Structure 1
Amino acid sequence: MAITKPKADNRPTEIIKRLKKEYPDARCSLNYSNPLELLVATILSAQCTDERVNKVTETLFRKYRTAADYASAPLQELEKDIRSTGFYRNKAKSIKGACAKIVEQFGGKVPRSMEELLTLPGVARKTANVVLGNAFGIASGVVVDTHVHRLAGRLGLSDKKQPEKIEEDLMQAFPKKEWILLPHLLIYHGRKVCKARGPLCGSCVLCDICPSCEAQGALKNVRLKLD
């Protein structure tokens, strides 16, 4: 079967279109009901699965309701509450420090700008982008986690190694209206198909426009899902 490839400059549009069709329910995998809960959950998600974080926060969010609750909590008690997420000492310090600053400088409310969020202890661009995009609907950038990092490289969207540089490339490649959804689509695809080990190129909806897929000779087995 002859395959007509989209023009190179149309690949981002084609990638988004196909992944939206493949994963219509793609969304943030962390459970939360307000910006503070998402901030805490995102800090806990470092080097931890979202599934584990959701199990921990199910109890944590009932115990700590406000930024002041976290800020005033004894450090060792908070460490115990989040221990199973790993790196719990650093995470507890970050949560307490961030919440203390939220109380002292932002009236107890999670700030709504990248500049302000980056002043919080333990908050870098990835966490700030997660909170701004998912809690506030503000497209300030693109979340770059391990899945997004891997897929950006395999799809030829970025050849950079630093998350900030990868984010810049993705922001240039995709329209701003897609910045919030894009990482969710890539994460879903990374977990299901484009895995770190043993990517399932033969069943990938992006295979015919993916340089890594073509390089592995999987193009002949591609299962296209086009309109």
Structure 2
Amino acid sequence: MSKRKNPIKRKKDSATNEKEGIVQIVMSKYFEKKKEEQQETIKSTQNDINNSIETTNVVKKRRKIVNKDGNDQKWEPAHWKEHWNNILAMRITNKHLEPRGCDTIGDTITDEKVRRLHILVSLMLSSQTKDTMTIAAMDRLLEHEFTVQYALDIDVDQLAKIIYPVGFWRRKAQYIKDTCQILRDKYNDDIPNTIETLCALPGVGPKMAYLTMDFAWKCNQGIGVDVHVHRISHRLHWLPYDTKTPEQTRLALESWIPRDLWNQINHNIVRFGQTQCLPVHPRCSTCLNRYICPASTSEDTKKTAKQKI
């Protein structure tokens, strides 16, 4: 006579199997998620390694070269001192052509905190914008007695109308409000005084940070590289290797330019690029560097080169 299975035990076994199945599904999903997280971590680590390798390669290219006599010599571009002295001389000649720049912002402001704030905001507005538009927008903010409190009180759309037509004016208006909130919460209505803390502000990049340290805090921390400095550095062959980004250009320039000149590079090169070494149709025929510039298009330079041949 066969034994009949206990129905209660059968139900328990079924419930146990069901629970075990649910647990297996949950654990399976858990391990899948963990696996995905591990893969993301591996991917992120690999990217960091690649970036590190890339940076190392850049550094290697900037290492000292050795002369034939065996002495170490830091790389320097040919004729750079002549280039520099001629640029300074041309700034005097072309002074009447120069627009006002962000370095002149705050000259009439006696409150140091407000002065530094105006310098920072002017640099935030200057991105993708001509100096004339930036200065006009800052003059309007000055008329409204712009401060951190003013930025926090005003509606973002109203602020956007004041700074219009600078490039990306709506986005920059929001950046300014967000930045001023941070200045209120963390810095007692003042601006930060390090490159790292400045770059942590909304809409502030390395170029703005280095120039802010120079103009606002009178502290020489590095070369501010914008489109003019990036372009003209390549034209003059001031770089030991081709660079693709402003940050790479900054590192390359700082590898050989004397540190006491770092805070003079941006201001003078930008003015040179706005008045003489234009992006399109540079005025090579009247440039003092036309005979020693690798990118010169001057007819006089070509004739001189043919005569030497």
Instruction: Give yes or no for TM over 0.5.
Output: yes
Q: Does 1:198 align with 2:281?
A: yes
Q: Does 1:84 align with 2:156?
A: no
Cα drift, residue 219 of structure 1: 1.8
Say if 1:210 and 1:60 are closer, same or farther in 2 by CA, change over 3 A: same
1:54 to 126, 135, 144: 135
For 1:63, the equivalent position in structure 2 comes to 144
Residues 76, 256 of structure 2: 8 Å contact kept: no
1:219 maps to a residue whose letter is T
Cα drift, residue 12 of structure 1: 3.0
Say if 1:170 and 1:208 are closer, same or farther in 2 by CA, change over 3 A: same
Alignment of 1:1-227 (within 5 A): 9=77, 11-24=79-92, 29-30=101-102, 31-33=104-106, 34-158=115-239, 159-213=242-296, 218-219=300-301
2:89 maps to a residue whose letter is K
Residues 12, 173 of structure 1: 8 Å contact kept: no
Distance in 2, Cα, partners of 1:9 & 1:150: 16
How big is each residue's C-alpha offset from its partner over 1:80-130, in whole Å with a ceiling of 9 and x where there is no partner?
A: 111221311110111111111111111111111111111111111011112
Residues 99, 132 of structure 2: 8 Å contact kept: no
For 1:4, the equivalent position in structure 2 comes to none
Count of aligned pairs between the two proteins:
215
Instruction: Could you tell me which runs of 5 or more consecutive residues in structure 1 were left unpaired when the two chains were aligned.
Output: 1-6, 223-227
1:142 maps to a residue whose letter is I
Q: Greater shift after overlay, 7-16 or 73-82? A: 7-16
Say if 1:218 and 1:90 are closer, same or farther in 2 by CA, change over 3 A: farther
Give the CA RMSD over aligned residues.
2.4
Say if 1:27 and 1:185 are closer, same or farther in 2 by CA, change over 3 A: farther
TM-score, normalising length: structure 2: 0.64
1:189 maps to a residue whose letter is F
TM-score, normalising length: structure 1: 0.85
For 1:3, the equivalent position in structure 2 comes to none
Distance in 2, Cα, partners of 1:112 & 1:85: 26
Distance in 1, Cα, partners of 2:155 & 2:126: 21
3-state SS, counterpart of residue 255 of structure 2: helix
Distance in 2, Cα, partners of 1:134 & 1:121: 19
Residues 12, 174 of structure 1: 8 Å contact kept: no
Structure possessing the higher radius of gyration over alpha carbons:
2
Cα drift, residue 217 of structure 1: 5.8
How big is each residue's C-alpha offset from its partner over 1:27-57, in whole Å with a ceiling of 9 and x where there is no partner?
A: 9713411111011111111121111121121
Say if 1:18 and 1:27 are closer, same or farther in 2 by CA, change over 3 A: farther
Which portions of structure 1, spanning 4 or more consecutive aligned residues, are displaced by more than 6 angstroms? Answer: 25-28
Residues 151, 180 of structure 2: 8 Å contact kept: yes
For 1:225, the equivalent position in structure 2 comes to none
Residues 48, 85 of structure 1: 8 Å contact kept: yes
1:74 maps to a residue whose letter is D
Residues 140, 163 of structure 2: 8 Å contact kept: no
Distance in 2, Cα, partners of 1:10 & 1:133: 28
